[in-house]
Amino acid sequence: MKLSHLFEYVGLRLLMLLTRWLSPQLASLVGNKLGDLTFYVIGIRKQLVLAHLARVFNHSADDSNSKYMARAIYQQLGQTAIEHVRLLTQRKPKVLDRLTISGEEIIVEARRKGNGVILVTGHFGYWELLGAAVAGIGHPITVVGKDLHNPIINHLILEGRERLGMNVINMTSAPSKILKELRKNNCIGLLIDQDAGPGGVFVNFLGIKASTYQGPALLALRTGAPIVPCFIIRSGPENHQVHFENPIETTPTGNESEDIKRITQTYTDILAQYILNYPDHWFWVHRRWKTKAPAT
């Protein structure tokens, strides 16, 4: 184990101890201040965030609008970080007490088909809580993720997800396990907004071509499982609204590559609209457009 990993773990445990007994309002304030500290002093990927905002919203990176939006993004991340740290301290967290859910009947109807449900979202709002919301209303869910670099913090986070009712599988062993969960008519939670490298399908995302994972579309075409976009929006200190959107049309046409592109573009457009409506909720620190589209 690296010494840096141990220091990070001790720091996280200390933060958990210090924030555990705060009120939601005070915890939200602490999260805002943490965001300000990161934005103004530490500056983690600040220039990247400003560049992304300038490109998407047609601002200058030095424009006051870009800086105002960037600060709000870091404050939102700070609030989410503190809220999650506090949630990790709870042995039996009461997730539903902090949620208002709309569209639950969409999942119920989708599961009636018996092929499972593919839930797609992005690194948007408190996305960790979104999977817990699905489990909390009685739908078995498996989420796919990558391991963190720090193994002891990774173990702590995985334990937290399991306490929140989620089954977790690693991205490296995902395909076979995903198919098994869909055959059981369970839900699969997938994040769709990371750069997929040269093997991804290029679709328009916020006005820019972006390499996007084909997995959700391919799974839907091969298994018949419906794709349901879902999102979580902060409505107050440790309060959120969960929205399930209508399933995306995934009927095969016989041209699988075009079907994949069409389906991927559809759910990417839905995510983009949420980002435009709530720009502070998205994880702009990603290098989302890292892979350049090939010249045509």
pLDDT at 243: 98
Which residues partner with 242 through β-bridges? 101, 232
How many domains does one find in the chain?
1
Residue 290 neighbours by CB distance under 10 Å:
12
Q: What share of the chain is helix, strand, coil (3-state, %, to 5)?
A: 55, 20, 30
pLDDT at 172: 75
Q: What is the mean pLDDT of residues 168-182?
A: 86
pLDDT band at 295 (very low <50, low <70, confident <90, very high): confident
Whether residue 120 lies inside any domain: the answer is: yes
Whether residue 296 lies inside any domain: the answer is: no
Structure confidence by residue, pLDDT tens digits, 55-97: 999 887 778 888 999 999 999 999 999 999 999 998 888 899 9
Q: For the whole model, what pTM was predicted?
A: 0.94
- Do the bridges between strand 187-191 and strand 227-236 make them parallel or antiparallel, or are there none, so unpaired? unpaired
pLDDT at 296 over 70: no
Structure confidence by residue, pLDDT tens digits, 264-279: 999 999 999 999 999 9
Distance (Å, rounded) from C-alpha 69 to C-alpha 71? 5
Residue 291 neighbours by CB distance under 10 Å:
18
275-278 contacts, C-beta under 8 A, 24 or more apart: 275/122, 275/124, 275/206, 276/206, 278/124, 278/125, 278/233
Distance (Å, rounded) from C-alpha 183 to C-alpha 153? 32
∠ Cα 123 277 102 (to 5°): 75
pLDDT at 62: 77
- Start-to-end CA distance of the chain, whole Å, equals 47
Structure confidence by residue, pLDDT tens digits, 96-152: 999 999 999 999 999 999 999 999 999 999 999 999 999 999 999 999 888 888 899
Whether residue 158 lies inside any domain: the answer is: yes
- The Cα-based distances of 209 to 62, 158, 293 in angstroms read 24, 33, 6
pLDDT at 234 over 80: yes
Side chain identity at residue 194, one-letter code: Q
The closest of 280, 261, 232 to 35, measured between CA atoms, is 280
Whether residue 294 lies inside any domain: the answer is: no
Structure confidence by residue, pLDDT tens digits, 177-225: 999 999 999 999 999 999 999 999 999 999 999 999 999 999 999 999 9
Whether residue 61 lies inside any domain: the answer is: yes
Burial of 152 (0-12, 13-18, 19+ CB in 10 A): middle
Q: What does the mean pLDDT of the chain come to?
A: 94
Whether residue 177 lies inside any domain: the answer is: yes
Query: DSSP E strands: which ranges in 36-183?
Result: 99-102, 117-121, 141-145, 166-170
Structure confidence by residue, pLDDT tens digits, 196-206: 999 999 999 99
pLDDT at 200: 95
Whether residue 290 lies inside any domain: the answer is: no
Whether residue 286 lies inside any domain: the answer is: no
Distance (Å, rounded) from C-alpha 202 to C-alpha 212? 6
Residue 224 domain boundaries: 3-281
